[in-house]
């Protein structure tokens, strides 16, 4: 039986492309949020028995650089080739919290599904294949496709159960392999919330009627059936993630180790295939769910307003394991927030998060060029710098900037990311907006989604919660813009961001920008 003297176990449930969609957020976001349409009892349990964070953001809204930051506890631009998606190479000289826990704190570590990829060597920061435990398979990552395919022979609920059993058996393989005298650190990384999904699966598998999504979409998305259905399908995948969280909690309880486990749940960025979300620095791309449960350390039922960058988890996990974080970890431990008995704002200095991105899909722009951005998010404002505003933020339009150019077939745009605007995942939403881009009500939303952007963007979230109106050039906001720019650049300089500290910047040439045929993404990606 676990005792308070034992080192705590650490379980990190981290879903690919899962933004801030959980019913625990309903009362904080209002009845018109997408979170109001679903019930996530297992995530909510973690929040109710622990702490819910209202202002958790990712360091980068692209999976590999985000995970590089979280694993290493530093900004993505401090991780070498880990700062890009396709073509990433892990530098084994960079300490990561799993390997630090294994080597310095004698933790037993393991994972199932995805931790760090695509890139070489896949999942290197957590021991690569050596620490992988998934003997039952990886079909959970194709949840709606697999269940739909097998529903006719098994029934929907039985097909779902088969995938729940897969996750359970994989986790049990890890638990059964651990030495009895060792604490453990485990990463559960499902990718089912990454596209693609079975169209109509939100309704068919989870009972989420697309019509109920009406009135719940952000203002920059057309509120039409096709996009509502796309959102409903995504919410269904979020419900599958929640079921997996429940399985982990059940197995920890069965092993009588739940009460000596720090259990953390989050995701690596916002929804894919939706304009202004994944691969963008707006809230829908960077805000994520975050809750933590740790009996005896976290007072239950707390809600924290402090701004948290997910890279802060690395020094947190090191500290939980009884070791000091390596000097390379430029982030700050969350232990004071976790162990405080208070709710609201705990640490007055945690009033911002810096996010950014460089290159996502390597062929998105001619010359393999990135779209460099940095942003400062505070309570009331988002300030964004687009360092190369002459480039297309979502990738080259492949002719679609000309209204006379006919759009590719709907199905091509829905399933092949590379057809146009390759930094936005293929989706029915992408296809619908491109096919309707000339319509009077759609054209301004299309420009917000796909058009070029000015060097500076500033949004007043109190009056403009969906960041529709850029006020960077508004004289009434001049002082705020100048203050936020100065603060952002001070942080970037302090953290040696190549965008400010190098001329020319490394991200403009090989190996950060260049042809990488061996890393070509499949069309569905």
C-alpha neighbours within 13 Å on the C-beta side of residue 489? 12
CATH classification (class only), 9-350: alpha beta
Sign of the CA dihedral running 293, 299, 303, 307? negative
Cβ-contact 57, 355 below 8 angstroms: yes
Per domain, the residue ranges of the chain are 9-350, 355-519
Model confidence at 476: pLDDT above 50: yes
Model confidence at 4: pLDDT above 70: no
Model confidence at 45: pLDDT above 90: yes
Residue 404 pLDDT class (50, 70, 90 cuts): confident
Q: CA 425, 284, 484 angle in degrees (round to 5)?
A: 120
* Mean pLDDT score, 16-36: 95
Kindly report, residue by residue over 250-283, the tens digit of the pLDDT: 999 999 999 999 999 999 999 999 999 999 999 9
* Mean pLDDT score, 434-463: 97
φ and ψ of 304, to 5 deg: -110, 135
26: left (phi over 0), alpha (psi -120 to 50) or beta: alpha
Model confidence at 403: pLDDT above 90: no
Cβ-contact 220, 433 below 8 angstroms: no
Token pair 């929907």 is found at 156
Model confidence at 520: pLDDT above 80: no
481: left (phi over 0), alpha (psi -120 to 50) or beta: alpha
Cβ-contact 274, 71 below 8 angstroms: no
Kindly report, residue by residue over 192-238, the tens digit of the pLDDT: 999 999 999 999 999 999 999 999 999 999 999 999 999 999 999 99
Average pLDDT value over all residues in the chain: 95
Q: What percent of the chain has pLDDT over 70?
A: 97
Kindly report, residue by residue over 342-383, the tens digit of the pLDDT: 999 999 999 999 999 999 999 999 999 999 999 999 999 999
Angle in degrees, 0-180, between the axes of helices 97-105 and 63-72, rounded to the nearest 10: 30
pLDDT in the model for residue 515: 80
Is the backbone peptide bond immediately before 407 cis, with ω within 30 degrees of 0? no
Residue 181 pLDDT class (50, 70, 90 cuts): confident
Token pair 């650190």 is found at 185
pLDDT in the model for residue 516: 65
Residue 120 is inside which H or E element, if any? none
- pTM of the full predicted structure? 0.95
- Share of the chain residues as helix, strand and coil, in percent rounded to the nearest 5: 40, 15, 45
For residue 401, count CB atoms less than 10 angstroms from its CB and return exposed for 0-12, middle for 13-18, buried for 19 or more.
middle
pLDDT in the model for residue 5: 58
């Amino acid at each position: 039986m676990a005792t308070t003297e034992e080192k705590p176990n650490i379980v990190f449930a981290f879903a690919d492309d899962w933004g801030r969609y959980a019913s625990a957020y309903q009362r904080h976001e209002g009845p018109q949020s997408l979170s109001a349409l679903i019930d996530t009892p297992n995530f909510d349990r973690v929040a109710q028995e622990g702490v819910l964070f209202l202002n958790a953001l990712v360091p980068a809204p692209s999976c590999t650089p985000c995970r590089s930051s979280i694993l290493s506890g530093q900004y993505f631009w401090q991780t070498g080739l880990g700062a890009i998606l396709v073509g990433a190479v892990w530098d084994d000289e960079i300490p990561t919290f799993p390997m630090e826990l294994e080597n310095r704190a004698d933790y037993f570590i393991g994972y199932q599904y995805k931790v760090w990829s695509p890139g070489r060597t896949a999942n290197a920061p957590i021991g690569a294949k050596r620490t992988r435990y998934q003997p039952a398979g990886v079909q959970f990552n194709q949840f709606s496709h697999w269940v739909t395919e097998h529903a006719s022979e098994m029934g929907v609920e039985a097909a779902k159960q088969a995938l729940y059993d897969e996750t359970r058996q994989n986790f049990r393989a890890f638990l059964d392999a651990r030495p009895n005298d060792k604490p453990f650190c485990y990463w559960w990384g499902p990718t089912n919330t990454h596209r693609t999904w079975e169209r109509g699966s939100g309704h068919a598998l989870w009972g989420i009627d697309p019509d109920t999504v009406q009135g719940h979409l952000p203002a920059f998305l057309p509120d039409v059936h096709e996009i509502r259905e796309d959102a409903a399908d995504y919410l269904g995948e979020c419900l599958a993630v929640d079921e997996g969280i429940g399985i982990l909690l059940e197995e920890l309880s069965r092993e009588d180790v739940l009460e000596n486990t720090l259990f953390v749940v989050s995701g690596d960025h916002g929804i894919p295939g939706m304009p202004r979300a994944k691969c963008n620095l707006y809230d829908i791309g960077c805000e994520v769910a975050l809750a933590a449960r740790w009996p005896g350390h976290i007072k239950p039922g707390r809600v924290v307003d402090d701004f948290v960058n997910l890279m802060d988890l690395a020094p947190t996990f090191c500290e939980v394991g009884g070791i000091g974080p390596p000097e390379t970890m430029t982030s700050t431990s969350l232990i004071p927030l976790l162990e405080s008995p208070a709710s609201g704002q705990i640490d007055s200095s945690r009033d911002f998060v810096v996010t950014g991105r460089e290159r996502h899909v390597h062929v998105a722009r001619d010359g393999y060029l990135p779209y460099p951005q940095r942003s400062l998010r505070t309570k009331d404002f988002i300030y964004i710098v687009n360092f190369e505003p002459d480039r297309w933020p979502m990738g080259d339009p492949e002719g679609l900037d000309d209204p006379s150019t006919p759009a590719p077939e709907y199905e091509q745009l829905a399933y092949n990311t590379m057809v146009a605007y390759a930094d936005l995942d293929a989706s029915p939403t992408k296809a619908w907006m491109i096919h309707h881009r000339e319509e009077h009500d759609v054209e301004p939303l299309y420009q917000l989604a796909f058009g070029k952007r000015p060097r500076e963007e500033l949004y007043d979230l109190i009056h403009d919660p969906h960041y529709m109106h850029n006020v960077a050039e508004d004289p009434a906001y001049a002082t705020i813009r100048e203050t936020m720019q100065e603060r952002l650049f001070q942080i970037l300089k302090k953290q040696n961001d190549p965008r400010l500290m190098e001329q020319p910047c490394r991200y403009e040439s090989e190996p950060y920008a260049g042809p990488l045929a061996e890393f070509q993404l499949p069309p569905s990606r």
